Structure 1
Amino acid sequence: MSDEQLVRPALVSGFPEWLPEVRLVEQRWLDEIRQGFERYGFCSVETPSVEALEVLLAKGETSQEVYTLRRLQAEAADDGDARLGLHFDLTVPFARYVATHFNDLVFPLRRYQIQRVWRGERPQEGRYREFTQCDIDVINIDHVPLHFDAELPRIIHEILTGLDIPAWSVNINNRKVLQGFYRGLGIDDPLAVIRIADKIDKIGTAGVEKLLATRLELTPAQIRSCLDLAHIRGRDAGVADDIRRLGVTSELLAEGLDELSFVLAELSDLPAGSVVADLSIARGLDYYTGTVYEGKFVDWPDYGSICSGGRYADLAGSFIRRHLPGIGMSIGLTRIFAKLVAEGRLPAGPSCPSDVLVVIPSDARRAEAGATAALLRNRGYNVEVYHQADKLGKQIRYASRKGIPFVWFPPFEDGKPHEVKDMAGGEQVTADPRTWARP
């Protein structure tokens, strides 16, 4: 093949991929996340990567992010596939799933879903066009008890603590507080303010102030009160008093403050700083109606959220005539991984899952090497047989490069014992594949 025929093997921007040693850590983390969800009784659900566009756009505000599907050879008049799109999150597909299988599900439904999602965003640090989300949601008929608003961040805290990632905190707010506060200020469109306030970590206080003035034409006093609210932080129910001191009142605000105080009190036993009430957290998606969450790295405050979610009143109601409120949180696994890789903070492991490499002393001993590997595999070990008879030094170097912790030597001659080498300590001892136990 000539140079002109070669296709440049370039990675498409916004679609991360990992080397084997990083991917192996990711898979182990996925196992830990799954086990963490299941410890609390959440069941696994998986939905198709593709949904009808009317499903994906049921709430309407993310149309610019949706990738649509179309066959390369599709005829101009064939628009069937053009009404399909890749899901941009897992919450909307889950709501559709609940509506589809409503009569076969047991409520309240605790589900977890670990899948890749796609968003048409401009690739940059922390923002990708393909990434893995790990979601948990509780959805119920008519009412989801408020204690779930505290249980979900507790589960996420337990999982992230177990993964031993750099310092982070889960920031909590309540959309009722925001909407009730803005209504108390006499603002007619609280959701419009929420969408702008949600940009404060991206464009700063001055940027939000300008947008509130130019786009919504709020008065200087209204803008000042909105910004005063956004700057409130607290670790306990005392944050509600800070908000009341701003002098704004409404029934919805009072309801939201009660809910926020309850959640903070329920999580008060967690380590100081791991859960923080942050009134700048808004969550831009319109379907959130109560508690909202955003988890952030402490050392990288400008980096995107590593977990997020919130309570929604009736997302599934777009697809079925039943009131089905829910609450959910998501771990942004790809965003966490990418940052730790970039910062050299990922605890990288070996580049393969093998516990043992069985060497091939000679072509005549290949069958015995295979039989030895089979014995070890049957006893629960991950075992790789070297691919050909070669110099022992080369086979040992192969194990070292891949991070395989033990090298097994079948007998080189009849009547000789098996031996195993500990690659970390260098010790080589006789061993029986039927009884050997990894130190």
Structure 2
Amino acid sequence: MARKASLSGFPELLPEERVVENHVLDVLRRTFELHGFSSIETRSLETVEQLLRKGEIDKEVYAVSRLQEDDGARSAEKLALHFDLTVPFARYVVENAGHLSFPFMRYQIQKSWRGERPQEGRAREFTQADIDVVGEDALPFRYDVALALVIVDALSQLPIPDFVMRVNNRKLSEGFYLGIGLEDTAGVLRSIDKLEKIGPAAVAQLLREELGATDEQAEAALGLAAIRAEDTSFVERVRALGVRHELLEEGLAELAEVIGEASKRAPGRVVADLSIARGLDYYTGTVYETFLVGHEQLGSICSGGRYDALAATQKRTYPGVGLSIGVTRLVARMLSQGLAVPSRKVPSAVLVALTDDAGWSAAQDVADALRSRGIACEVSATAAKFGKQIKYADRRGIPFVWFLGEDESGAPTHEVKDIRSGEQAPADPAAWEPPHEDLRPRVTAPTGD
């Protein structure tokens, strides 16, 4: 990792670390586009009023102003950096609805800013990769299933440990709480959301002290949260608890559809976990959280859910479902634990060596020929001894060194050396290609001993 930043929470990467991050971003872009998602980018700044309209805590929001701010600026004009991509996206949909085709499928990869205490997995400046599908007035539930499978596809292509997407449904949970007589369903969800941090006994105490739950109600709520399954068997386990409510049945059916299809296409990757609550109030149905197996203490690397009214106007409602991958969190763990290894730290596959300074222009001709075919290369700046030029390439991880010379008749000759194996052979600048695996830096999981 790069040295500790002088400004904590704003990470900076070394070139080889950036190779890993770019690999992650490239995989996500490619996968999202293969599934039909279009790319957009929203502005970094939003009005404070827009950012806080869903009740987010303003202590974490970074306000932005000019050094010579106008004291008479109206509050609606006060600006702040966005802390996620969902709220800006909701505004974008409303403002551009007349130019969009619904359902609108978008992906968005950008930085966000949040003023919280920095620690591993939590930075003040961080990159997110979001995918959402938004409908006009209605959105088919099958998109809830499809988005889970898109994320599984994307993460499966990365050099990371096994992962599990845990899925629940807010209707299921809220219907159950109503069925046992707990009316403050949002309060119960907030308490259940703390289960992994503080444990069941502390959550039961919260339910009793803050929400007035009886011992029996607290026990029932925790019993629901304890249910996990890799298939639709969770449905009967919930019904066995003896609670009945129309909203509960609706949530059971929706979650069964997600888990039923996912268990066929990605067995073991997507599981029902009825402890998943997601504390944000705007989620109304399916909720997702994704964890690396063996790295659960890192927290969720990909979260989201269904929101039926995040974006709305007086005439239209834009329901949606979305998931957000914490790219900075994921990459930080990949780097700190050595989960991913770049094949080299620079794009260059070839260093064109100099025999003497007079040959610099001819070396540039070789480089031009290689670059015209998409082969990244650089030309040595000085005609140092070949050994030094080879060492320079080795330090940068450049696999091939190109040598120019002349035969007995004075005609130019070309040879290329694989400095890893020591093999050297004649080469034609207009035709030579490196092996496919050497064309660009690759990122892989480390090999075992």
Normalising by structure 2, we get a TM-score of 0.92
Aligned length: 431
CA distance in 2, matches of 1:100, 1:407: 54
CA distance in 2, matches of 1:406, 1:366: 18
Which among 161, 168, 181 is matched to residue 166 of structure 1? Answer: 161
CA drift at 1:254: 0.7
1:407 to 1:116, Cα distance in 2 relative to 1, 3 A = same
Residue in 2 that maps onto 1:351:
345
Question: Deviations along 1:288-333, whole A, 9 cap, x unmatched?
Answer: 000010000111222210111110001111x553111000111111
2:367 maps to amino acid = A
CA drift at 1:266: 1.3
Q: Does 1:101 align with 2:96?
A: yes
Q: What is the 5 A alignment of 1:395-406?
A: 395-406=389-400
1:287 maps to amino acid = Y
The root-mean-square deviation of aligned C-alpha atoms, in Å, is 1.8
CA distance in 2, matches of 1:76, 1:417: 72
Identity across the alignment (%): 51
2:307 maps to amino acid = Y
Which among 8, 13, 24 is matched to residue 13 of structure 1? Answer: 8
Q: Does 1:422 align with 2:406?
A: no
SS at match of 2:105: strand
1:205 to 1:387, Cα distance in 2 relative to 1, 3 A = farther
Structure 2: state its 5+ residue gaps: 436-449
- Checking the alignment, whether the CA contact within 8 Å between 2:47 and 2:76 is kept in structure 1 is no
Residue in 1 that maps onto 2:354:
360
CA distance in 1, matches of 2:141, 2:4: 51
Q: Does 1:204 align with 2:199?
A: yes
CA distance in 1, matches of 2:145, 2:4: 47
CA distance in 2, matches of 1:196, 1:21: 42
2:344 maps to amino acid = P
CA distance in 1, matches of 2:26, 2:39: 13
SS at match of 2:46: strand
Q: What is the 5 A alignment of 1:12-411?
A: 12-74=7-69, 76-77=71-72, 83-317=78-312, 319=313, 321-411=315-405
CA distance in 2, matches of 1:312, 1:306: 20
Question: Deviations along 1:138-177, whole A, 9 cap, x unmatched?
Answer: 0011211111111111111111111131111110000001
Q: Does 1:437 align with 2:441?
A: no
SS at match of 1:215: helix
CA distance in 2, matches of 1:138, 1:9: 38
2:411 maps to amino acid = G
Normalising by structure 1, we get a TM-score of 0.94
Structure 1: state its 5+ residue gaps: 1-7
2:246 maps to amino acid = E
Question: Deviations along 1:37-78, whole A, 9 cap, x unmatched?
Answer: 011111001000111112111211343321111223435555
- Checking the alignment, whether the CA contact within 8 Å between 2:287 and 2:306 is kept in structure 1 is yes
2:434 maps to amino acid = R
CA distance in 1, matches of 2:267, 2:322: 23
CA distance in 1, matches of 2:7, 2:237: 48
SS at match of 1:327: strand
Residue in 2 that maps onto 1:3:
none
- Checking the alignment, whether the CA contact within 8 Å between 1:61 and 1:286 is kept in structure 2 is no
SS at match of 1:21: helix
1:336 maps to amino acid = L
SS at match of 2:384: coil
SS at match of 1:115: strand
CA distance in 2, matches of 1:99, 1:75: 29
Question: Deviations along 1:4-26, whole A, 9 cap, x unmatched?
Answer: xxxx9943222222111110121
1:42 to 1:365, Cα distance in 2 relative to 1, 3 A = same
CA distance in 2, matches of 1:133, 1:28: 15
CA distance in 1, matches of 2:297, 2:243: 30
CA distance in 1, matches of 2:4, 2:245: 59
Residue in 1 that maps onto 2:445:
none
SS at match of 2:130: strand
